[in-house]
Amino acid sequence: MNSLFYLNPTHYLFFTGKGGVGKTSLACATAVRFADQGKKVLLVSTDPASNLDEVLGVRLGPNPIAIPEVAGLFALNIDPEAAARAYRERSIGPYRGVLPPDSIRDMEEQLSGACTVEVAAFDEFTSLLLNSEMTSRFDHIIFDTAPTGHTLRLLSLPSAWTDFLTTSTHGASCLGPSSALNNQRERYEQAVSTLRNPTETTVVLVTRPDPIAIAEAERTSHELEGIGLLNQQLAINAVFKAQNRSDKIALAFESRVTKALEGIPQGLASKERALFELKPHNMVGIQSLRSFFDASVAAPEAAIPVAMPAGTLTIEKLVDGIVADGRCLVMVMGKGGVGKTTIAADIATHLASRGHPVHLTTTDPAAHLEAALVGQKKLSSLTVTRIDPKIETQNYIQQVIATAGKGLDKEGLALLNEDLRSPCTEEVAVFRAFSKIVNEARDHFVVMDTAPTGHTLLLLDAAGSYHKEVMKKMGHDGATLNVTTPMMRIKDPKFTKLLIVTLPETTPVSEAEALQKDLRRAQIEPYAWVINQCLVGNETQDPVLLSRAHHEVAQIQRVQGGLAKNIIIVPWKNI
């Protein structure tokens, strides 16, 4: 009997993978398929940048909402910010009126960081997973997760907090009283136990026929196996075969897909695998989702190639504008899978090739700067680094103990070590490294490829506040610390050129628009939008590629209609 996830599904299906590989499309299409078979299905997004609403055409909330066009299908979004607010109040509420106001403010400060948001989201996830009254109402529960780095962090939290709580003696951590965490530990362990049960849960590793995305799927597979999630399957989206064997663009597109599939590592190649064709249109709306599993989706009749829309710029023109304003920080942002790393590397190479000293770096744990620079000429003026959370955390802990640990008595040193064992120390360490690199842009060009979300940026000030709080516990006066938050420099358009990268598709453009709104709420104005991997302007006659090019025009015009003043079009390249 075929045990592929969409033919013989377990009760829980957990879709994960690098951003932009089509997790949401596949999760939604799978949910619709099961519901159309007469099953009752719950679809859940744990992605802070969830786009279930747009794909399904229904405004979702934290409680299950029936999808009107699909009998038996319900969906909800776990809102990390709302979860964090509720989590903070659950942790602090019992102590209001019991502890002094200063202690309450101290607890609120400790609960203000991004780490709390992650734990709170996981708390909501486990609450749902262990709610037998709700889960028993559904034949299948499908989780559409955040990009892999975020998901892996959530899944590793129970063991991380178990280790921390086992050795914690002072009653407080960056998430509040340890007694509150101890009350949740058993639930977290039960949730991970459910995920580890192969008869209950299938993990679907979603990827595209792209070497970087496949490498990320392999890394994810190993890390999930490391925490006991062994029932894994591989789903490969956007597999393409040219219909016209004389079409050079289509053949190049097909060749890249073929090479990627042939290069799948043995560990992934040994897993059960499902391949899904590249569709001629975007997977938005129930009708499109119902066609996802079709062996072949008809494309419109071939038409003339689509010309590049007027009023757009090239990467070269973008770099001209950056150079004209002098040395600065170039921040490249956007959701995962849109090609931020490639764009960052391209801009850095252009700057360095003009003789400017350039520092290219990334804050994305899953970024592959080296792969993005393959084939590029090595330039002596280009320095390439990455902010590695593990290394930065180790360095930070060593420095704090070497400096602040001097002169502390046994009790004080024990308290310091307890604070530094907290998983939230990583948040502070990365903030510290990020701030240092931002400051470098005073002297030369810095191009920074960021993690796949703008959410981290909005929490940097909170991370800085937490840093000061930790230093106070070391015996220092927080007011005298030279802690530099980068937010003021990022808000300065002369110091920072912030680029939003997207793809010429409905959902990525909507996600980029939401990111821009978040940035503007933080008083940060993007310098330009980069629309990446455009088929527009390529002289293909392949009906699938040509259909996608026609759909791209509408999205480019949407961006031109008021979303961005400076718009850079980057054509699809055979790399």
Residues classed as catalytic: 20, 22-25, 47, 507
Q: How many CB atoms lie within 10 A of CB 413?
A: 15
Query: How buried is 454 (Cβ within 10 angstroms: 0-12 exposed, 13-18 middle, 19+ buried)?
Result: buried
E strands, 165-272, in order: 172-173, 176-177, 201-207, 232-239
206: β partners: 235
* Residue the block writes with tokens 């609403």: 53
Phi, psi dihedral angles at 207 (to 5 degrees): -150, 180
Question: At residue 357, what is the residue type?
Answer: P
Say how far apart CA 339 and CA 437 lie, in whole Å: 22
**Could you give the CA distance from residue 536 to residue 542 in angstroms, rounded to a whole number?**
13
Across the strands, what pairs with 202? 13
Q: What whole-number distance in Å separates Cα of residue 270 and Cα of residue 275?
A: 14
The distance from CA 314 to its chain's CA centroid, rounded to whole angstroms, is 27
Which neighbouring-strand residues pair with 330?
A: 447, 497
Q: Which two tokens stand for residue 400?
A: 């704090």
First CA to last CA distance, the chain: 39
Number of residues written out for the chain? 575
Cβ pair 3, 319 in contact under 8 A:
no
Question: Could you tell me the CA-to-CA distances from 90 to 98, 103, 229, 343, 367 in Å, in that order?
Answer: 15, 16, 30, 43, 36
CA 497 to chain centre: 21
Judge whether 46 and 129 are in contact, CB under 8 Å: no
10: helix, coil or strand?
A: coil
For residue 205 the two structure tokens come to: 């590793």
Helix, strand, coil % over all residues of the chain, rounded to 5: 50, 15, 35
Whole-Å CA distances, 398 to 216, 262, 401, 416, 465? 30, 44, 5, 12, 21
Rounded to whole angstroms, the Cα distance separating 264 from 261 reads: 6
The DSSP element (H or E) to which 390 belongs, if any, is helix 389-404
Q: Dig out the tokens for 522 from the structure.
A: 């933080």
Whole-angstrom Cα Rg for the chain: 24
Q: In whole angstroms, what separates CA 106 from the centre of its chain?
A: 30
